[in-house]
Structure 1
C-alpha cells in the first residue's frame, strides 16, 4: 500500500516506523484491520509458547515465567488469563523477562473472583483486555489493589446489556465463540508483524510485534478480545452487513471490480488516518533490558507502551484513549 509516514503525526517523536509498510485493508463488520510488514527483530521469545503463568497466589498477584533457554520475553501489554481453579487476572503493564526468569506482578487486576492456586498449561488461555478498559488499566499500573478495575468492568457489562458485575468472563468466556469469529473473518498475512485497527472508521489501535511468530501468537487475543469486543458490540444487523455482489459478467470484469474495491478501501483508510486526532505524546521510561527500553506513551488521544532499541521499534501496543480517561 504505502510506507507509514502518514503515522508520523499520529505517533510523533517516540516511535519511528520507517521501513514498515501497510498492506491491503480487511474488514469484518465494524472492524477494519490493516496489516503491517517490516524488518523482524531477532531474539525475542514469543508470548504464548515462551511465557507461562505459573501461579496466582492471591488477589492481584500473578507470577509469570520465561521458560525459554535463551532470549528475552516481552510480556504483551494488558495480557490476561482465563483459567480453572484460580482468579482470572489481567496485567496493567508490559515487562521484560530474561530467559528462565520468574516475575511476580503485584499490581495485576482481578477480573473475576475465584480461588487461587497452581495451574497446568491445559487450564489456561490468554486474552488482551478489551479496548474500552485499556486506558484505565494503564492508568492504574503500579497500584496494588486487586479490585481496581471492577467498576469499569461492571460499567462495560452494563453498556452491553449484561448484569452490572465486575466479572469480565461475562463477555470473554460466554461470548468467546462469537468473538473468535473475527480471527477467521480477518486473515493473518504471511510475514505480518503488526496491524492498524479501526472501528467504524475511527482509529482504534496500532499493534507491532518483534517478528511474525510473536504477532501470530497475539493475533487471536488482539483481534478477538482487545478489538473484537467493541467491534462485536458495534456490529450492524445481518442484512446491513451483507456485502453487495460484484456486477461482473466474466473473470476479467470481476478482477477489475476487485481492484476498484481494493483501491477504494485503501483510499478510505488514508482518509481515516488523516482524520485521526493528533496531539503531543509524552514518553516515560519504565524499564531497561540490555539495549531495550520499555516506555509508556500518553497523550490526549493515544496511550500505550512501546519497546525500542535506540531509534528502532521492537514492540508497540498503542490504542485510542477512551473519552473521560486521563492516563498518567
Structure 2
C-alpha cells in the first residue's frame, strides 16, 4: 500500500535531466507537426498506464475521478488524462498526474468536468483515454489544487471559439468537429523501436517534451498525446496560416533535370537531413534551461519496490509535471507555455549536438 509522506520542498534541475538516458531518433514530419523520437534502453516495467492495465475509470461526484488499477504494477495516470464517454454522464479530466498503487483504487476530487450542463456519473468501466488539448493544459495545471468541477468551462469555451466551434464548456464539440483531422495524426506518426518519449514541434517551434517509463507505456499513451494534445495545436497552426503549407525550403539546390533514381534518392536524403538538423537546432538552447520542481506528493509501494514523488515543473518555457523514483525520472510531461508557443525565441540556438 502507498504511504504518503508530507513535506514541502522544491528543487531545480535542467531540461537535459529529463532526457537523461535517451537518444534522439530520426525526425518525423507531417504538415505543421514534427516529432523527434526519444529512444532508450532504459525500460521500467514496474509502471503502467491506465490504457495498459485496462483500468476501470469512474466518477462518484462532479469533480471526482476514480481509477481502479487491475494490474500488479504501479499505475501512473498521465498528466491531464481525460475521458469522453457515450453514456449519459459528464465527461471528466485530471488537472494533474496521478499515481495508483498495484491492485489499488484511488479517487481524485480535484478533477474537472469538461462537458458543461450535462448530468450523470461515469459508470465504472474501461474507456478510451484522451489527453487535454495543449491550449487547456496550462490552465488545468494552474488550477490543479482547486476542488471546483466547473474550473475549466470558461477555458474550454474560449478554446472552442478559437476554432469556430459552438458549445460553451463542451470539449466534445471540438472533438466531433475535427475528428477526421485528429484521427489522421495518429495514423501519420508511428512509434519507433525503443521509443520512450518525444520532443514535439509545431511550425518549427518546440511545443512539448514527453517521457515515459517504458516503451510499452509510451506506446499506450502516444495516440492520446499526438491526437488531442498536440494535434489540436497543429490544427490551430494550419488555421492561422490559412491552411498554407509550412515553409521548409531546402538549402539543397535542385537540378532542372534529375538524371537517375539514385540522384533523386540522394537529394531526398539530403533534404530530410537538413530538416532534421533544423528541428534539432530549435531544441539545443532549451537543454540548459532550469526547471523548478515544486513537490506535490510522495507515495511508495514496497511490493513493486517503487518510491515515487510527483513534482510540478515550471520554467521560462515549460509547465508540466515530473515523476521521479528516487533520483531517476520515470515520467515527464512538459507542454510549452502559451507565451512560448507564440514567441519567436526558439529561433535563437547555441551550438550543441543531440
Q: Which SS does the other structure have where 1:194 is aligned?
A: strand
Rg: which structure is higher? 2
Which of 196, 207, 230 is the equivalent residue of 1:227? 230
Deviation at 1:173, TM superposition (A): 3.1
1:94 aligned residue:
97
Pair 1:201–1:241, CA change in 2 (3 A): closer
Alignment RMSD, CA only?
Answer: 2.6
1:3 aligned residue:
none
Deviation at 1:277, TM superposition (A): 9.9
Alpha-carbon distance in 2 for matches of 1:160, 1:292: 39
Which of 283, 291, 298 is the equivalent residue of 2:314? 298
Q: Which SS does the other structure have where 1:288 is aligned?
A: strand
Give the conservation status (yes or no) of the 8 Å contact 2:212–2:332: yes
Deviation at 1:26, TM superposition (A): 1.1
> CA-to-partner distance for each residue in 1:25-59, whole Å, 9 max, x for gaps?
11121111111101112211232131524322221
Give the conservation status (yes or no) of the 8 Å contact 1:284–1:296: yes
Give the conservation status (yes or no) of the 8 Å contact 1:14–1:283: no
> CA-to-partner distance for each residue in 1:269-317, whole Å, 9 max, x for gaps?
1221145597542111222233222111012321111112233221110
Q: Following superposition of structure 1 onto structure 2, how do residues 228-247 of structure 1 map, counting pairs within 5 Å? A: 228-235=231-238, 240=245
Alpha-carbon distance in 1 for matches of 2:230, 2:125: 25
Alpha-carbon distance in 2 for matches of 1:286, 1:51: 26
TM-score scaled by length of structure 1: 0.87
Pair 1:265–1:167, CA change in 2 (3 A): same
Q: Which SS does the other structure have where 1:19 is aligned?
A: coil
Unaligned runs of 5+ in 1: 1-10
Matched, 1:136 2:152: no
Matched, 1:172 2:182: no
Q: Following superposition of structure 1 onto structure 2, how do residues 21-100 of structure 1 map, counting pairs within 5 Å? A: 21-38=23-40, 39-50=42-53, 52-68=55-71, 70-83=72-85, 84-100=87-103
Alpha-carbon distance in 2 for matches of 1:14, 1:24: 19
Q: Following superposition of structure 1 onto structure 2, how do residues 102-251 of structure 1 map, counting pairs within 5 Å? A: 102-113=105-116, 114-119=118-123, 121=125, 124-163=127-166, 165-235=168-238, 240=245, 248-251=258-261
> CA-to-partner distance for each residue in 1:118-175, whole Å, 9 max, x for gaps?
53646x3211011111111001011100111111111111111122611111112332
1:262 aligned residue:
272
1:8 aligned residue:
none
Q: Which SS does the other structure have where 1:47 is aligned?
A: coil
Give the conservation status (yes or no) of the 8 Å contact 2:18–2:332: no
TM-score scaled by length of structure 2: 0.81
1:19 aligned residue:
21
2:282 aligned residue:
272
2:333 aligned residue:
317
Pair 1:168–1:278, CA change in 2 (3 A): farther
Alpha-carbon distance in 2 for matches of 1:249, 1:232: 38
